[in-house]
């Protein structure tokens, strides 16, 4: 959601390099009511309003330096989405979102209360399952940035089980909750066609024609989009790291964006740069699985004969924990957030190990019809798996934790259920999933999804190290 105190956030997510041109998705997020809250004192509300923007590309360097000699820049204008007012009005009528307080003092208190609630929970906890630790040993993969901090946030399964049992004995009172515009926009971003019809996501061909982009970015670089000069102070500036590019096409992914305080003249901390480069293809590194068993149980479930108990799947546990913790930290101390996590979710792929068919199948395929007012959209494609902190306990005993594994596969889809209005759909179409049965041997990989809904495609291959 928009960075604290800003009326508008612009986040550019590189998507693909075709050997000559960069494509990207621009995420545009307003704060408050997009129908009525002005973007700035002399501006209109967000819905349907045009935006004058500048795209700037910098070659090399350990930090982005706006306006540096040699930077390439392109000015362009985004015309307002033609049906934005209609669609935002329909969303308002359906969900009745409550905007933040308009009074400055009330708004400050509202933000402070939100920060205090999250800060009181302490660090997000995570059980590091044996399947993950075994995968680390097998692939000799060492934890990356912030290993000591992440290790301190790990919790034993016995400790977590005990704390959950205590919290279940004293259930948390259900808080009164009013849906905010930020939550409505978050749900809208899960629907690609709706996000684009609202003007929240815009697909961009960066348009640096006439320049040797590959030559300039042979050692990597930076990409940033800002408002036009006259309004540039109205929105925080963040930059995306571009990895070293060559003549070969490849997927691009921004696992994090570097905020203005970090993406300035001073070099960015090396661990963050290494992390951005490491995930620049959008694939998880350490994928692991084990037979499913409930938390605290010493043995897997005993299913009926011939039925598989299900596979619990996880990936990059410590890195995912670090990303989630950064999101919480950004809520608690927005002024100190130097990097903003760009990962919104994950897509899990499967194939039979050692089979003649080596093509991957997505476990996140679905289809259905989305309706907002008079607007209709048929969608067949991929959704995503979210990994968000779960809350347990209340008062001084409240805490946040991540599940031991991030998905449980019992055959079929990971993103739809029997009561869902959306149906599971093979992806790619007309290619069935492998059957999950006792004795079956499958392998998995995980693709990352950014906040704009973009990420590597099913047919893409990892550029950096990724272990199925």
Bigger pLDDT: 348 vs 422: 348
pLDDT of residue 432: 81
Residue 212 confidence (pLDDT): 79
Residue 254 lies in a domain: yes
For residue 293, the model assigns a pLDDT of 84
Residue 112, pLDDT > 90, answer no
| 39 pLDDT above the threshold of 70 | yes
Higher pLDDT, 195 or 76: 195
Quote the domain boundaries for residue 2.
1-98+178-280
Lowest mean pLDDT among 153-162, 243-252, 371-380, 421-430: 421-430
pLDDT tier at 1, thresholds 50, 70, 90: very low
For 404-455, the pLDDT digits (tens) are: 999 999 888 898 876 677 788 888 887 888 878 777 788 999 999 999 999 9
pLDDT digits (tens, 9 = 90+) for 365-408: 989 899 999 999 999 899 999 999 998 887 778 889 999 999 99
Task: Indicate whether 202 belongs to any domain.
Answer: yes
**Domain presence at residue 52:** yes
pLDDT beyond 70 at 325? yes
Inside any domain, residue 172? no
Q: What are the tokens at 53?
A: 């923007």
pTM: 0.90
**Secondary structure percentages of the chain, helix, strand, coil, to 5:** 25, 30, 50
- Selected residue with higher pLDDT from 412 and 169: 412
The whole-number average pLDDT for the span 234-260 is: 89
Q: pLDDT band for 319, please (50, 70, 90 cuts).
A: very high
Name the more confident of 267 and 255: 255
Average pLDDT score, the chain? 84
Residue 190 lies in a domain: yes
Higher pLDDT, 467 or 398: 398
Q: What is the pLDDT confidence band of residue 305, given thresholds at 50, 70 and 90? A: low
Model confidence at 464: pLDDT above 90: no
Flag the least confident range among 83-87, 143-147, 302-306.
143-147
What's the pLDDT score for residue 55? 92
* 196 belongs to a structural domain: yes
Residue 233 pLDDT > 60: no
Number of structural domains, the chain?
1
The model's confidence at residue 151, banded by pLDDT at 50, 70 and 90, is low
**Residue 454: predicted pLDDT:** 96
Residue 380 lies in a domain: no
Does the residue 159 lie in any domain?
Answer: no
pLDDT value for 433: 83
Mean pLDDT of 11-39: 91
Give the pLDDT score at 435.
79
């Amino acid at each position: 959601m928009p960075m604290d105190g800003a009326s508008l956030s612009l986040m550019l997510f590189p998507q693909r390099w075709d050997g000559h041109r960069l494509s990207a998705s621009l995420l545009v997020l307003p704060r408050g009511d997009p129908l009525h809250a002005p973007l700035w004192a002399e501006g209109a509300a967000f819905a349907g309003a045009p935006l004058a923007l500048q795209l700037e590309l910098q070659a090399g360097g350990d930090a982005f330096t706006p306006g540096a000699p040699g930077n390439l820049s392109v000015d362009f204008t985004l015309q307002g989405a033609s049906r934005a007012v209609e669609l935002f009005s329909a969303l308002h009528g359906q969900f009745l979102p409550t905007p933040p307080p308009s009074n400055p003092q009330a708004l400050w208190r509202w933000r402070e209360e939100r920060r205090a609630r999250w800060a009181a929970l302490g660090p997000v906890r995570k059980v590091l399952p044996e399947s993950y630790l075994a995968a680390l040993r097998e692939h000799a993969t060492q934890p990356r940035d912030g290993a000591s901090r992440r290790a301190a946030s790990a919790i034993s399964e016995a400790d977590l089980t005990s704390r959950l049992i205590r919290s279940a004995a004293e259930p948390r009172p259900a808080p009164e909750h009013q849906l905010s515009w930020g939550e409505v926009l978050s749900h809208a971003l899960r629907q690609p066609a709706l996000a684009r019809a609202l003007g929240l996501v815009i697909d961009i061909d960066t348009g640096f024609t006439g320049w040797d982009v590959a030559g300039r970015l042979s050692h990597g670089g930076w990409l940033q989009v800002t408002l036009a000069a006259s309004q540039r102070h109205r929105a925080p500036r963040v930059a995306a790291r571009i990895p070293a590019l060559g003549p070969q096409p490849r997927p691009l992914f921004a696992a994090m964006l570097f905020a203005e305080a970090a993406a300035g003249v001073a070099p960015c901390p090396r661990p963050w740069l290494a992390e951005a480069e490491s995930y620049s293809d959008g694939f998880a590194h350490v994928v692991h699985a084990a037979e499913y068993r409930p938390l605290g149980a010493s043995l897997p479930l005993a299913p009926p004969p011939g039925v598989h108990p299900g596979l619990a799947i996880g990936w990059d546990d410590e890195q995912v924990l670090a990303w989630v913790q950064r999101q919480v930290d950004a809520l608690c101390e927005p002024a100190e957030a130097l990097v903003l996590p760009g990962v919104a979710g994950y897509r899990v792929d499967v194939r039979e190990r050692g089979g003649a068919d080596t093509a991957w199948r997505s476990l996140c395929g679905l289809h259905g019809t989305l309706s907002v007012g008079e607007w209709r959209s048929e969608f067949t494609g991929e959704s995503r798996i979210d990994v968000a902190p779960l809350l347990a306990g209340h008062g001084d005993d409240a805490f946040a934790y991540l599940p031991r594994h991030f998905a449980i596969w019992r055959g079929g889809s990971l993103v739809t259920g029997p009561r869902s209005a959306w149906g599971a759909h093979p992806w790619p179409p007309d290619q069935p999933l492998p059957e999950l049965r006792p004795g079956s041997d499958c392998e998995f990989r995980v693709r990352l999804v950014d906040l704009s809904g973009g990420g590597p495609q099913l047919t893409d291959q990892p550029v950096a190290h990724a272990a199925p």
